[in-house]
Amino acid sequence: TQLLEQSPQFLSIQEGENLTVYCNSSSVFSSLQWYRQEPGEGPVLLVTVVTGGEVKKLKRLTFQFGDARKDSSLHITAAQPGDTGLYLCAGGPESSASKIIFGSGTRLSIRP
């Protein structure tokens, strides 16, 4: 069974602090995505990374895909209350790209 493990599960930090969320697997993924989900809504795509070692930036968010395409990280600089939400990583395993696998999520809370 191919798994995507996210850590930490929960994170509560003060506004202005930095944080990193991790997404790890023993399998190789053809691409990996990060989503944010608000309560009562479906996930919304933040970024897709495809190439091993790739780094993408979205304002204060920095996403990195591991060299071996087995892991990814999301770093948020100077967190704001608007960053609060459930962050999910998801990927299409190299063996079956259509079967998207989601991690269990990191619930982030930013205190004003």
Contacts of residue 77, defined as CB under 8 A and 6 or more positions apart, other chains included, come to 18, 60, 61, 62
Q: Which is nearer to other proteins, 16 or 52 (CB)?
A: 52
The one segment of 13-21, 33-41, 59-67, 71-79 that binds other proteins by CB under 8 A = 33-41
**Where in 68-107 is the site for other proteins (CB under 8 A)?**
88, 90, 92, 97-105, 107
Spatial distance between the Cα atoms of 84 and 63, rounded to a whole number of angstroms: 17
The one segment of 14-22, 39-47, 60-68, 72-80 that binds other proteins by CB under 8 A = 39-47
- Which residue in 25, 33, 64, 72 binds other proteins (CB under 8 A)? 33
The DSSP 8-state label assigned to residue 82 in this structure reads G
Contacts of residue 79, defined as CB under 8 A and 6 or more positions apart, other chains included, come to 13, 15, 16, 17, 18, 19, 60, 108, 110
Residues that bind other proteins in the complex, under the rule CB under 8 A: 4, 6, 30-31, 33, 40-45, 48, 50, 88, 90, 92, 97-105, 107
